[in-house]
Amino acid sequence: MMKPLIVLVSGAPGSGKSTLAGKLAEQMRLVHIPRDEVLRAIEFTKGERIERGVLGIETYFQLLTYMVEADISVVTDGTIYKDLSEDDIKTRLTSIAHVVNVHTHAEGVNERFREREKKRGSDDWVEGHMARLREIYPLTAHPLDLGVTLIEVDATHEYVPSLNDVVAAIKRDYEAYRASEEKKHEATN
C-alpha cells in the first residue's frame, strides 16, 4: 500500500521553519498544516490560551492522521523536542505516511523569533517567553533521530541548499519510496 507523504519541517523557534514549510507546500502543491496555527485555532475556538502540551499536540496528530488517511500528502511544521517528540513521530506518523524531515537552522533564532512576534503584536507575551526559548534551544536546535530521510537547511539569509534543491531531494526520496513499494507489491503478486 502506497503511503502519502508527510514533509515534517522542524527546527528551533525562529529558525524559519514555517516560512520554508509554506514555500515547500506551495511549490509541491501540497496542503500546509502549521502546528502553531492549529494550536491558535483551538485557542480561538475555546476563547482562551490552552496548555499546548497534551491537548494541542493530540489534536495536531489527529489532524495529520485524518489527512493522511484520506490519502492527502502534507507539509507540516513545528518545533519538535529531543527526548519528547521522537516516539510520537516514529510510532504515529511513520506507520501511516512516508515521512521526510526537513530541519532548519539559522543564526540569531531568538532575535528572529522576538521580531516576528512583535510584528504580530505579541510584545508582552514574547518578552516573558524569551527565557523559555533559551532553555528549550538545546532540545530543538539539532535534528532528531527519527529514522527517516533528513534534509538540513540553513535559513539564515537564503536557503542553503536552495528551495528548488530541497524540493528535488524530497521528490527523489518519495519516488524511491514509491518504486520500492511497487517492487514489494509485484513480488507478492
Number of domains in the chain: 1
Residues 117 and 126: their CA atoms lie apart, in Å, by 6
Q: Note down the domain range covering 129.
A: 5-188
Q: H/E/C letters for each residue in 39-66?
A: HHHHHHHHCCCCCCCHHHHHHHHHHHHH
Q: Is the pTM value of this prediction over 0.85?
A: yes
pLDDT by 10s per residue, the chain, length 189 = 789 999 999 998 889 999 999 999 999 999 999 998 888 888 888 888 776 555 677 888 999 999 999 999 999 998 888 887 888 888 899 999 999 999 999 987 767 776 776 676 666 666 667 777 778 788 888 999 999 999 999 999 999 999 999 999 999 999 999 999 999 888 887
Look up the CATH number of the domain holding residue 109: 3.40.50.300
CA distances from 90 to 2, 39, 113, 141, 184 (A): 18, 22, 28, 19, 22
How much is the CA Rg of the chain, to the nearest whole Å? 17
